[in-house]
Amino acid sequence: MADDHSHSDHQEGFWSKYWFSTDHKVIGIQYGITAMLFLLFGFGLMLLMRWQLASPGVEIPLLGALTPEMYNQFGAMHGTIMVFLGVVPLAVGAFGNYVVPLQIGAPDMAFPRLNMASYHVYFWGGVVMLASFFVPEGAAKSGWTSYPPLANIETMGQTMWLWGMVLLITSSLLGAVNFLVTIIQLRTEGMTYFKMPFFVWAQFVTAFLLLLAFPPLEAAGFLQLADRLLGTSFFMPSGLVTAEGPLEVAGGGSPLLWQHLFWFLAHPEVYVLILPAMGIVAEVLANNTRKPLWGYKLMVYSVIFLGFMSFIVWAHHMFITGMGTAISAFFQVTTMIISIPSVVILSALFITLFGGSIRFNTAMWFALGFIPMFGIGGLTGLPLGLAPTDIPLHDTYYVIGHFHYVVAPGTIFALFAGIYYWYPKVTGRTMNETLGRIHFWGSMIAMNGIFLPMLHQGMVGMSRRLFDGGLTYSFTEGVIHYNSVMAVSAFVLLLFQLPFIYNFLTSIKWGRKVTKSNYWEATTLEWSAAPTPPVGHGNFATIPTVYHGPYEYSVPGHELDYCPQEVPIQLPDVADQTVEP
């Protein structure tokens, strides 16, 4: 409901230009920078935990030895920060904000001021989360899932966690409404739904998931806040006893209620993490194989089906809670069904490679890395979706390995691909290819060094929650030395992020200048119709009209190997090419 002001013709100060900006491109960059800093911070927490697991009790320089309380804080906050403050804001807030309006030919998001508000609420949610480390007895310690009754009787950090989550949920709600309205209302002339790039489709479905899946967690958050602050017993069963004696609460509540509400969000959340990544990979693959995306419509139908199904699979996280075999059977079936569209999308991406003349650049390497890594993540998930195999694997390192294969070398690789792919768009300069390849191969090897051993440790039965890395259990004897491999790999991973950070920062000033606007010779509007680097608020000199689908690469008979969406395809006269019958 913005007033109609003209934004372009007056000089803006630093604050209004870079901090209180309503330009979707600036907001995208704000999200990107903030989210990357949070990713680095969450990665740092993980390094400290890996140090502790590999050599329990050995002092960490500057920090001293970890206490169990600190370890629990780091574990809970690593998960929370990586998911809610790192990956989602980078995938949706940064790439979605920057790229979606450009790809559909819109001058901005539908509600620019709401967009700004969304970033600022996210930012303060992050501040609350970070501040929780400094309250008495530290941050939340009950895991990123905050299961009650443990979370209910936790220290003040848990309350901060809940308030932080309320802010983050509000932010993503504002963002989701904005994305949906933008995609539905601001598509330019000719940009019908089936002419939208797959990335836009992925963001569209993601926004629906954020819109409808987050509110139940907000409801659960309110209930847990009431439990903690008003003394209610929504999640407190009768007769609870702690080390200090029986708890003085009314009782009669249900810890399972929290798990249902939490996973009703958190399973769609997994698809919020993965769908934008698939979208980025689709863009990069089509562009660098110089081929149309294989099965574009099939992928779109799959992603819609995936979004729908993701609302009815949540209880596969709860097979060991004793909720009953009938419910387990239902959720096993839906879980097996939802694996089908994921496989369809991944296969379509894979088949896209077939017969292409592939351009190998860093973005493409990361996109290629995504496919097998996400494949491992997906396949290792199948045993967790079936109750008989989930029961022994639940709460072991196998789950951690599975999930991280999906998100770390899966989603985060795709996000790196996106950064290398769109960096020239944003800055007008390219990132260094050599450093990019060092970054890719180093990260690839190190990530597998961290996550592959987890799968084995988990199958042996090592619990995911051990502060000493499993020293006290004899059955971990055969796999406990993996902890050292994983710790070394984790620090190697840090080492290989240094070329990326250096590359990212220095290329802004010293990177090779982009000589032509459509640097990658792409077909989608953000490259073909918008100037590179972008100029000011409004995106396009004249709003383009779209004539054909998003991936018209190597059209037979066309002189160039790419046909931008805003240029009608003109083939040489067909009469000249008539074939003798």
Partner 1 sequence: MQIPYEVTARPDTGVNNAKLGIWLFLASEVMLFGGLFAAYVFLRIGADAWPGMMVYGTEMMAERADEILNVPLATLNTMILIASSVTMVMSWAALKMDRFDRYKLYMGLTILLALGFLVVKAFEYGDKFDHHWYASTNNFLGIYFVLTGLHAIHVTGGIVLNAYFWGPGTKLWKRGTPRDKAHFTNRIEVAGLYWHFVDLVWIFLFPMIYLI
Site residues for partner 1 per CB under 8 A: 1-4, 6-8, 106-108, 110-112, 173, 176-178, 180-181, 184-186, 211-220, 222-223, 226, 230-234, 249-250, 252-254, 257, 260-261, 264, 537-538
Residue in this structure with the two tokens 């390995």, named with its chain if needed: 401
230 vs 574, beta carbon nearer partner 1? 230
Q: Distance between CA atoms of 554 and 253, rounded to whole angstroms? A: 62
Query: Shortest Cβ distance from residue 43 to partner 1 (Å)?
Result: 32
Tokens of 501: 């950070």
The DSSP bridge partners found for residue 562 are 553
In what helix (H) or strand (E) does residue 246 lie, and over which residues does it extend?
strand 245-246
Exposure on the CB side of residue 91, measured as CA atoms within 13 A: 35
Residue in this structure with the two tokens 């200090």, named with its chain if needed: 244
Query: Shortest Cβ distance from residue 235 to partner 1 (Å)?
Result: 10
30 vs 178, beta carbon nearer partner 1? 178
Query: Shortest Cβ distance from residue 212 to partner 1 (Å)?
Result: 5
Q: Are the CB atoms for 251 and 240 separated by under 8 Å?
A: yes
Q: Distance between CA atoms of 304 and 342, rounded to whole angstroms? A: 11
Query: Shortest Cβ distance from residue 226 to partner 1 (Å)?
Result: 5
129 vs 220, beta carbon nearer partner 1? 220
Q: Distance between CA atoms of 551 and 195, rounded to whole angstroms? A: 9
Query: Shortest Cβ distance from residue 424 to partner 1 (Å)?
Result: 24
Query: Shortest Cβ distance from residue 111 to partner 1 (Å)?
Result: 7
What is the torsional sign of CA 560, 562, 567, 573? positive
SS3 553: strand
Query: Shortest Cβ distance from residue 215 to partner 1 (Å)?
Result: 4
Quote the distance between the C-alpha of residue 55 and its chain's center. Answer: 31
- Give the C-alpha distances (Å, rounded to integers) separating 24 from 102, 193, 364, 424: 10, 22, 26, 17
9 vs 576, beta carbon nearer partner 1? 9
Residue in this structure with the two tokens 């930012």, named with its chain if needed: 123
DSSP conformation class of 141: -
234 vs 294, beta carbon nearer partner 1? 234
252 vs 572, beta carbon nearer partner 1? 252
252 vs 557, beta carbon nearer partner 1? 252
Q: Distance between CA atoms of 482 and 490, rounded to whole angstroms? A: 12
258 vs 551, beta carbon nearer partner 1? 258
- Give the C-alpha distances (Å, rounded to integers) separating 22 from 108, 122, 526: 9, 15, 19
Query: Shortest Cβ distance from residue 323 to partner 1 (Å)?
Result: 12
312 vs 353, beta carbon nearer partner 1? 312
Q: Distance between CA atoms of 72 and 165, rounded to whole angstroms? A: 18
Q: Phi then psi for 64, rounded to 5 degrees?
A: 80, -175
Q: 391-395: which pairs have CB atoms within 8 A and are 24 or more residues apart?
A: 391/319, 391/320, 392/461, 393/458, 393/459, 394/319, 394/320, 395/320, 395/463, 395/464, 395/465
Query: Shortest Cβ distance from residue 93 to partner 1 (Å)?
Result: 17
Tokens of 407: 């998100």
Q: Omega before 383 cis (within 30°)?
A: no
Q: Are the CB atoms for 288 and 364 separated by under 8 Å?
A: yes
Query: Shortest Cβ distance from residue 248 to partner 1 (Å)?
Result: 8
Query: Shortest Cβ distance from residue 198 to partner 1 (Å)?
Result: 22
Q: Are the CB atoms for 298 and 344 separated by under 8 Å?
A: yes
255 vs 499, beta carbon nearer partner 1? 255
232 vs 339, beta carbon nearer partner 1? 232
